[in-house]
Structure 1
């Protein structure tokens, strides 16, 4: 792995994505989809796939979904150039880790089965692999269940970023967990839940709030930056925030100014929503990689 590599840690699913719904299902009724696709999913994987598409080495630490979905997911990891040396098979007898995603033109809903550990226990030697520079954690719950990730990453000299992911109830000590990272990447609904519970954002760490078509805003101390969203025809919003993470992280690790990082994130998010599946928009990025920069943040 060359300098600047990213290890993404988090739940790995097989995504069953239903598209073209006129409305989301309600109790006692049935609705029909125009399309269905099966893809490797989960925030950590999608972010890693976008990083790899942008030319930055990316690998994944995760538990593979149980059969019959493991082979499909492993094939997607290989196809998108995401390293899988730190992925492990699910424990014997585990339920498959699956997310059913249902999307309309205006909204989306997810039904997920998370089974067993999100990832294997990693040692300092694995975090200190040559060329590895950064740890990205795909969801707050993974960090809450594996708080050792921060200590091991710091011992290895890695910077750390964290996405949020939806939680009906925030994990205990959520504020302390996010205060331990360098970069926090919630969407606007997730950020509002923190504020509603009296947890301040935008302190010494950099907080980036993703707002979908409205773009994104970054906060750090008294500083604030904003970037408008990219116009896009929305086909499927699955993984758009994780795609944003990939674009933002690629530029942030290159030392680009925050507005440039926001722009890159928005570009990846727009590509994601224009195609089916969390990684469907990657083909639109192949010929549009940004030029490396040397300026500071």
Structure 2
């Protein structure tokens, strides 16, 4: 038997890249020029795509990111932080005419409010993603992950064709839509036949599947083609296959400090295991464990686990 270990498949992540300004303490605004004192303010990597890419890099997975930012101090900071974490930022696009997007997170222990300036985020085009995919194919990319669909309307209109092209080129594909700020949830049906993995949370699967029961909603979406992996908060997660089989794992219990980015960290760990060919039960277990690590620290990336963390946690349980 050969002792040579194959290099892990590279992932190309497409989507949003912006700093998160996370505020904790007395975060419910009081108008009328009332000054409120906070407990903490943290500027960190934000955006579902960026947090997922960072999580994959933490797990030792080669990863590149396609996103648009401005030529400003926020953009410079993001590139430095991601590159320092091991993410390939070569495909990131710099815009001269729009600023880097910015999200302000008003964070309480059990919930958060999110205020986002889109900035450059919606400017990524399908042509730019196609170019990045072609370049990445020469570097061993095997998987295309798209995040924050509803923040990128220009890309979304051509995404079915783009995903089909990626799969025809031999890539597997996945999507995490994240929330729809307009509450319409349009366009996902056309994407499902071109996805290998769809990664909604409970609220998203109910809205997109148009059913009040998450298991039925997931089964409806899975019948269109993808493996549907649902993040179900404290109740853990479940995966529904094309054939209707369901695998469920319970949540890993940790006292939450900040829930920002936990779903993206879940995505990273699930995809990392899935690309390694692990069984669904183990992929889900690793993903829920990774999400529990993430909520134990402030910000989307500070608590993300390494592969050793997940393996050690698995041995302990």
What TM-score do the two structures reach when normalised by structure 2? 0.83
Give, in angstroms, the shift of residue 106 of structure 1.
Answer: 1.7
C-alpha RMSD over aligned residues: 2.3
2:190 is aligned with 1:181: no
Which of 273, 279, 283 is equivalent to 1:261? 283
Answer yes or no: is 1:128 the counterpart of 2:134.
Answer: no
Contact 2:12/2:144, CA 8 A, preserved across alignment = yes
2:123 is the alignment partner of 1:101: no
Per-residue CA distance 1:35-80 (angstroms, 9 max, x = gap): 1111121111111111111111111011124413111101111121
Match of residue 315 from structure 2? none
1:246 aligned to which of 247, 263, 268: 268
Which one has the largest radius of gyration? Answer: 2
Residue 170 of structure 1: aligned partner:
184
Superposition pairs of residues 36-75 of structure 1, within 5 angstroms: 36-75=41-80
Q: 2:238 aligns with which of 217, 238, 259?
A: 217
Task: Supply the distance in 1 between the matched residues of 2:307 and 2:197 (Cα, whole angstroms).
Answer: 26
The question of whether the paired residues in 2 share the 8 Å contact of 1:12 and 1:118 is answered with no
Deviation of 1:156 (Å) = 2.3
- More displaced stretch, 167-176 vs 273-282: 167-176
2:3 is matched with none
Deviations 1:138-196 (A, max 9, x none): 12234524414313312321000000211023354321123321100001011111133
User: How big is each residue's C-alpha offset from its partner over 1:218-243, in whole Å with a ceiling of 9 and x where there is no partner?
Assistant: 11132001111111121111110000
Contact kept? 1:135, 1:158, Cα under 8 Å:
yes
Cα separation, partners in 2 of 1:53 and 1:179, compared to 1, 3 Å: same
Describe the SS at the equivalent of 1:250: helix
Unaligned ranges ≥5, structure 2:
1-5, 313-317
1:4/1:57 contact within 8 Å kept: yes
* Secondary structure class of the residue paired with 2:72: coil
| 1:64–1:193 distance in 2 versus 1, CA, 3 Å | same
Question: What's the counterpart of residue 294 of structure 1?
Answer: none
Q: Are 2:38 and 1:24 equivalent residues in the alignment? A: no
Q: 2-side partners of 1:159 and 1:14: how far apart? A: 28
Q: Any idea what the Cα deviations from partners look like across 1:118-147, whole Å, max 9, x if unmatched?
A: 363433522422321101111223452441
Q: Assess, with a 3 A threshold, how the Cα gap between structure 1 residues 31 and 188 changes in structure 2: closer, same or farther.
A: farther
User: Which residue in the other structure is 1:156 paired with?
Assistant: 169
| Residue 295 (structure 1) aligns with | none
